[in-house]
Chain A
Amino acid sequence: MTTLKAVAQAQAALASRRADFPLLVKFPELHYLDSAATAQKPAAVLDAMREYYETDYANPHRGAYDLSARSTERYERARKRVAKFLGVRDADTLIFTRGTTESLNLVATAWGRAKVKSGDEIVVTGMEHHANFVPWQQLAIAQGADLRICELTEDGRIDLDRLRALVTPKTRVVAFSHVSNALGTINPVRDIAAVARKVGALVVCDGAQAAPHLALDLDALGVDFYAFSGHKMLGPMGIGVLVGRREILEFMPPYQMGGDMIEFVYDETSTWNVLPHKFEAGTPNVAGAVGLAAACDYLDAIGMAAVRAHEQMLLELAHKMLGEIPGVRIYGPAAVADKSGVVSFTLEGVHPHDLATILDEDGVCVRAGHHCAQPLMRRLKVPATARASVYVYTTAEDVEALGRGVERARGMFG
Chain B
Amino acid sequence: MSLDALYQEIILEHNRKPRNFREMPDANRKVEGHNPLCGDQVTLWLRVDGDRVVDVSFQGLGCAISKASASMMTAAVKGKTVAEAKALADEILAMLIGKLDVEKERQALGSLAALSGVSKFPQRVKCASMAWHALETALDESNPEGAAPEPAR
Contacts and interface: CB of A to CB of B under 8 A. Distances in A.
Q: Do A and B bind each other?
A: yes
Interface of A: 350-354, 357-358, 361, 368-370, 374, 377, 383-384, 412-413
B148 interface: no
A412 B124 contact: no
18 contacts: A350-B64, A351-B62, A351-B63, A351-B64, A353-B40, A353-B124, A353-B127, A357-B3, A357-B123, A361-B2, A361-B3, A374-B39, A377-B39, A383-B40, A383-B41, A383-B61, A383-B62, A413-B12
Contacts, number: 48
B23 to A, nearest CB: 19
A384 B64 contact: no
Nearest to A371: B39
Contact of A358 (B3, B38, B62, B127): B3
| Contact residues of A: prevailing secondary structure | helix
Contacts of B41: 383
B110 to A, nearest CB: 24
- Range of interface residues on B (Cβ < 8 Å): 20 to 34
A129 B33 CA distance: 24
B6 interface: yes
B39 A354 contact: no
A354 B38 contact: no
| Contact residues of B: prevailing secondary structure | mixed
Given A351-B64, A369-B38, 5 more contacts: A353-B63, A353-B124, A361-B2, A383-B62, A384-B39
Nearest to A369: B38
A361 B40 CA distance: 22
B7 interface: yes
A412 B39 contact: no
Contact of B38 (A350, A361, A384, A413): A384
Nearest to B127: A353
A370 B38 contact: yes
Q: Quick one: which of A353, A361, A370, A412 has the most chain B CB within 10 A?
A: A353
B65 interface: yes
A368 B38 contact: yes
Contacts of A384: 38-40
Contacts of A354: 7, 63-65
Interface string B2-28: 110011000010010000000000000
A369 B62 CA distance: 11
A370 B65 CA distance: 18
Contacts of B40: 353, 383-384
A351 B3 CA distance: 15
Contact of A353 (B2, B3, B12, B38): B38
A94 B14 CA distance: 55
B108 interface: no
A413 B3 CA distance: 12
Nearest to B1: A361
A11 B85 CA distance: 61
B7 A353 contact: no
A347 to B, nearest CB: 12
